[in-house]
Amino acid sequence: MTLTYCLKKRHLRSYHKKVTAFTDSAASHPVTKEKHPLFTMDIQLEGDHEEGRPQKKLKIVSDGKSSIITEPANLNISDTDLGDNKDSQSTEEYIPFEKETEDRDEEGEMASVGGMIWRLRVNNLPKFMDAKTLKKSLEKWGVTDSKPKKGPKWDYAFLTFKTEAALQEATLKIDGQIIKNKKLKTEINNTTQDAHRNRFAQKAVETQEKITLDPRTPAEKLADQVTPYHSLSYDNQLEKKKKEITSILSNYRNQMKKMVQQQETPERVEMAKVLLEWALDKSPYGFNLPCPMLDIIASPLTEGYRTKCEFSIGTDLDGQPSVGFLLGLYKDGITAVLSPQDCLHVGEKAKRIAGAMQDYIRKSDLETYDRTTKQGGYVFVWAYNMHGIGHWRSLLVRTQRCGEIMVVVQFHPQHMTPERVIEEKVRLKEYWESLKIAEDGLDITTLLVQLYDGVSNGFQEHVPMEVIFGPGYVHEELLGCRFRISPTAFFQVNTPATELLYSIVRDWCAIDSTKPPTLLDLCCGTGTIGITMAKSVNRVVGIEMVGQAIEDAKENAERNDIKNVEYICSKVEDALYVFNGLSQTDNVVAVLDPP
């Protein structure tokens, strides 16, 4: 059963409507042929849009039981102009689906259409284990049909399953397993789709209450969200960052001390004492630091420096389609998207491109994708089937110092025929090409499109991107070398600061020309550090887990005529075998970026 109910009103004083929903295959009365209702909804919107955001009340009655949800309707009010009649009827839409399909909530959890989420909580996990590593362990134990969810510092995780039988089977396989000397314990933690969505709605209510009391303007809120230190002078920003890094390094040293007592045998304890002697002794650097802490080196460029921006596509506070940044955290129920025009770190070209995409979407017959319901629509959408009518999702922009520009548009192709998808790609191509020849035009080097129908937000490395025009990549120049950059490859976003950083790294490596070292470029990305230093070392070994970045690195080495380099596509910890080819007398320098 699927019900979608949309209210689209711009100037709204009050609204009241009752809807009765029926299952698509509901049994009919043998005489009257009337279908039995599944539930009724009593929807009210109260409050003057001109004076304050309306409140949305939802009363659901099912099997004689009722519940009421009240939440603000301010973030998703449509721009549909209904004229001066502020109390005119809204549009209604009922979309039936014949068969039940798998459903997912806003965090990607699986459930049946009936609304139950079969969920297992796994306790005693290492805090810094990520979901991908956990999934590998689960597959090793024979648990292959779950979706793990784990936060960065959680010592637990949630696994969701399609059926109760799969959950019960996984419980037997996981309970008692050992990871890093910790015995795992499981507990069943089932919930429902309704409870999950209601929790998100409640977060939105709580956040809205804070927003109401917040005296900051929307522009100030966005600046605090995306550039938290913008109100400080640059010198004060550097000093604050230095204090934060000092605290992190001190905490790291404390964690190393604890590792001694966490060893399994007396022999390993003694070995740990030797290896961690630097952490056990009193720090000679002060503040419990494990190493000297120098002053932070200032960036040559402090405004408009970002060469890569990922913009969200949604609606602003007035319900207008918008391209920019989320006003707050999605987990707090904030889904409004504001323009980046006042953001200090975004360059002028990127701002113009975001504005151009916003103009295109506002004229498009396709709606923005709703992050909360995974649909299009504005004030209110209630649905058990998550495949709605929203399309526009994200915009990626790369504006390199050398003048090349990349634009990647992501949209959801749901309910679009293959012919309609092709038509939209043609429209995008014509639009961006027209901007090249316009007065003071935007000379876009390459345009790509990613069609993505998943529930996660942002661009997906595993989902292919189609090149609409141009080569599908851009270039940047650093320290006399030229680098190719693919859409999802890691590349430093502040080019002048990157050149300064790499120059300092090269100096710190203190390379002896009489005995050139082997350089290990760990997390090498597109190979920038290794390639800029390759002519000063014996050989370079670059390790990177993103396959496309490795392809870029190989291309970059060839483009810059670098012969003494090899690349390995792997996690660093899985590629330690490279040390097998080194001897005790070899001179080795390792550079890790990012740390």
d(Cα 195, Cα 201) in Å, to the nearest integer?
10
Kindly state whether residue 212 falls inside one of the protein's structural domains.
Answer: no
- Look at residue 181 in the predicted model and tell me its pLDDT: 83
Q: Residue 337's closest CA among 352, 318, 354, 315? A: 315
| Cut 0.75: pTM above it | no
d(Cα 160, Cα 455) in Å, to the nearest integer?
15
What mean pLDDT value characterizes the chain? 78
Are 581 and 534 in the same domain? yes
Answer yes or no: is pLDDT of 25 > 50. Answer: no
User: pLDDT per residue over 277-312, tens digit each?
Assistant: 989 888 999 999 999 999 999 999 999 999 999 999
Are 349 and 419 in the same domain? yes
Are 491 and 588 in the same domain? yes
Kindly state whether residue 202 falls inside one of the protein's structural domains.
Answer: no
Q: What is the mean pLDDT of residues 253-260?
A: 90
d(Cα 46, Cα 167) in Å, to the nearest integer?
43
- Look at residue 81 in the predicted model and tell me its pLDDT: 32
Q: Residue 273's closest CA among 264, 281, 282? A: 281
Q: What is the mean pLDDT of residues 214-233?
A: 91
d(Cα 595, Cα 588) in Å, to the nearest integer?
18
Q: How confident is the model at residue 80 (pLDDT cuts 50, 70, 90)?
A: very low
- Look at residue 455 in the predicted model and tell me its pLDDT: 74
Answer yes or no: is pLDDT of 420 > 90. Answer: yes
Are 577 and 491 in the same domain? yes
- Look at residue 112 in the predicted model and tell me its pLDDT: 42
Q: Residue 591's closest CA among 538, 543, 536? A: 543
Are 112 and 256 in the same domain? no
Q: How confident is the model at residue 407 (pLDDT cuts 50, 70, 90)?
A: very high
**Cα 250–chain centre separation:** 29
Answer yes or no: is pLDDT of 85 > 80. Answer: no
Q: How confident is the model at residue 589 (pLDDT cuts 50, 70, 90)?
A: very high
Query: CA separation (Å) from 183 to 119, 124, 526?
Result: 20, 7, 40
Kindly state whether residue 95 falls inside one of the protein's structural domains.
Answer: yes
- Among 240, 274, 298, the domain boundary falls at 298
- Among 437, 472, 507, the domain boundary falls at 472
State how beta strands 539-544 and 518-522 pair.
parallel
- Written as six digits, the tokens of 499 are 């050149």
Kindly state whether residue 317 falls inside one of the protein's structural domains.
Answer: yes
Are 243 and 326 in the same domain? no
Are 458 and 342 in the same domain? yes
Q: What is the mean pLDDT of residues 575-581?
A: 84
Is 40 in a helix, a strand, or coil?
strand
Q: Are 82 and 319 in contact (CB under 8 A)?
A: no
Answer yes or no: is pLDDT of 379 > 60. Answer: no
- Look at residue 236 in the predicted model and tell me its pLDDT: 96
Are 576 and 430 in the same domain? no
Q: What is the mean pLDDT of residues 241-263?
A: 92
CATH of the domain at 354: 2.40.50.1070
- Look at residue 204 in the predicted model and tell me its pLDDT: 64
Are 467 and 318 in the same domain? yes
User: pLDDT per residue over 197-223, tens digit each?
Assistant: 677 667 666 666 666 667 888 899 999
- Look at residue 388 in the predicted model and tell me its pLDDT: 42
Kindly state whether residue 33 falls inside one of the protein's structural domains.
Answer: yes
Q: Are 261 and 181 in contact (CB under 8 A)?
A: no
- Look at residue 111 in the predicted model and tell me its pLDDT: 43
Name beta bridge partners: 370: 375
- Written as six digits, the tokens of 513 are 């020309």
User: pLDDT per residue over 92-101, tens digit each?
Assistant: 332 232 233 3
Q: Indicate the helix (H) or strand (E) that contains 411.
A: strand 405-411
- Among 472, 503, 535, the domain boundary falls at 472
- Look at residue 514 in the predicted model and tell me its pLDDT: 82
Q: How confident is the model at residue 34 (pLDDT cuts 50, 70, 90)?
A: very low
Which pairs from 263-268 meet CB under 8 Å and 24+ separation? 264/181
Are 364 and 271 in the same domain? no
Are 228 and 107 in the same domain? no
- Written as six digits, the tokens of 561 are 């005529």
Q: How confident is the model at residue 439 (pLDDT cuts 50, 70, 90)?
A: low
Q: CB-hemisphere CA count at 13 Å for 537?
A: 29
Kindly state whether residue 208 falls inside one of the protein's structural domains.
Answer: no
User: pLDDT per residue over 309-358, tens digit each?
Assistant: 999 999 998 999 999 999 876 666 677 899 999 999 999 999 999 999 99
Q: How confident is the model at residue 374 (pLDDT cuts 50, 70, 90)?
A: low
Least confident of 30-34, 320-324, 433-437: 30-34
Cα end-to-end span (Å), the chain? 49
Kindly state whether residue 341 falls inside one of the protein's structural domains.
Answer: yes
Single-letter amino acid code for the residue at 73: A
- The domain tally of the chain equals 5
- Look at residue 331 in the predicted model and tell me its pLDDT: 63
Are 283 and 315 in the same domain? no
- Written as six digits, the tokens of 327 are 């006003």
More confident residue, 189 or 408: 408
Q: What is the mean pLDDT of residues 64-68?
A: 45
Q: Are 378 and 315 in contact (CB under 8 A)?
A: yes
Q: Are 542 and 553 in contact (CB under 8 A)?
A: yes
- Look at residue 104 in the predicted model and tell me its pLDDT: 38
Q: What is the mean pLDDT of residues 471-490?
A: 93
Residue 139, domain extent = 103-193
User: pLDDT per residue over 114-171, tens digit each?
Assistant: 478 889 999 999 887 888 889 889 999 999 888 888 887 889 999 999 888 999 999 9
User: pLDDT per residue over 496-542, tens digit each?
Assistant: 999 999 999 888 887 777 888 899 999 998 999 999 999 889 999 99
